[in-house]
Amino acid sequence: MPKRLQSRILKMIGYPYINMEVTIKNALLMLENAGFRLEETVKVYHLGIMKFLPQAPAYILIARKIMQNS
């Protein structure tokens, strides 16, 4: 979806500050660089009909901090 259209839709629904440029790949890389390991990925569908989309509209990433042995 074009950025301009995304921006207009997010403003209309009351979420003008959401960063749509963060990708799952970038989020996973940030977690890894911060010392976390991905435990689970949960797909979030705000409406049942959205399950027919090729990708979920949102994800919850559950990660665990990797403990270093001293």
The reply to whether 34 falls in a domain is yes
Predicted local confidence at residue 70, as pLDDT = 53
The reply to whether 13 falls in a domain is no
Query: Per residue of the chain (70 residues), what is the pLDDT tens digit?
Result: 677 887 888 788 887 777 777 788 888 999 999 999 999 999 888 778 778 877 777 889 999 999 877 5
Predicted local confidence at residue 61, as pLDDT = 92
Find the helix or strand (DSSP H, E) in which 8 lies: helix 3-12
- Which range of residues forms the domain containing residue 52? 22-70
Question: Among 32, 33, 13, 10, which residue's Cα sits nearest to residue 21?
Answer: 10
Contacts of 50 (CB under 8 A, 6+ apart): 56, 57
Predicted local confidence at residue 49, as pLDDT = 78
The reply to whether 57 falls in a domain is yes
The reply to whether 60 falls in a domain is yes
The reply to whether 4 falls in a domain is no
Residue 51: strand, helix, or coil: helix
The reply to whether 31 falls in a domain is yes
